């Protein structure tokens, strides 16, 4: 027969484990990431925006400003081709609002200046890894909006 001390000890363990699961939201977040994509992820094609460059803005200065903003937003440059007017960042694994790393969600950014150097195209590519390990393409609306705003203020009309 189980004595009261052992029963009480098992009850405490079950309650503590239950509070951990509830506090983390789910077993998925307790053991390695969320089971669903972030709210800002939209399946489909990457989000592309075009920004008209401010008249009189020197192309070299605009290119440096764009590069600087991407670095400020913690995107590491993978490809930097000033003569071609192209920048692409590495994939950036995302962090949740609670500060937890979500390695099943990643975002990268590419920026292309048109040949006349009068506009810049911003392409924000997001990917969510499903339960089978496949990467689902899409875009992140919050990052797209934030970068579009920052770039427009820095180099746009």
Digit-coded pLDDT (tens) for 103-123: 999 999 999 999 999 999 999
User: Is 73 in the same domain as 106?
Assistant: yes
User: Is 89 in the same domain as 38?
Assistant: yes
User: Is 48 in the same domain as 19?
Assistant: no
Full residue range of the structural domain in which residue 108 is found: 34-155
CA separation for the pair 117, 51 (Å, rounded): 11
> Could you tell me which of 132, 27, 142, 77 has the C-alpha nearest to residue 150?
142
User: Is 143 in the same domain as 115?
Assistant: yes
The structural domain count of the chain equals 2
Q: Assign 74 a pLDDT band (cuts: 50, 70, 90).
A: very high
- Does the predicted model carry a pTM greater than 0.85? no
User: Is 147 in the same domain as 128?
Assistant: yes
CA separation for the pair 157, 148 (Å, rounded): 12
User: Is 16 in the same domain as 43?
Assistant: no
| CA angle centred on 123, ends 95 and 117, rounded to 5° | 135
Mean pLDDT of the chain: 84
User: Is 14 in the same domain as 74?
Assistant: no
């Amino acid at each position: 027969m189980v004595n009261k001390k052992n029963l009480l000890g098992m009850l405490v363990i079950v309650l503590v484990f239950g509070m951990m699961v509830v506090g983390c939201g789910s077993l998925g977040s307790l053991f390695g990431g969320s089971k669903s994509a972030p709210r800002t992820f939209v399946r489909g094609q990457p989000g592309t925006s075009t920004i008209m460059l401010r008249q009189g803005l020197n192309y070299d200065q605009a290119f440096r400003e764009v590069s600087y903003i991407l670095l400020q937003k913690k995107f590491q440059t993978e490809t930097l081709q000033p003569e071609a007017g192209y920048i692409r960042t590495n994939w950036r694994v995302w962090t949740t609002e609670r500060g937890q790393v979500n390695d099943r969600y990643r975002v990268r950014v590419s920026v292309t200046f048109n040949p006349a150097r009068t506009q810049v195209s911003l392409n924000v590519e997001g990917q969510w890894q499903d339960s089978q390990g496949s990467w689902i393409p899409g875009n992140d609306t919050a990052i797209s909006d934030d970068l579009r705003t920052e770039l427009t203020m820095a180099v746009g009309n």
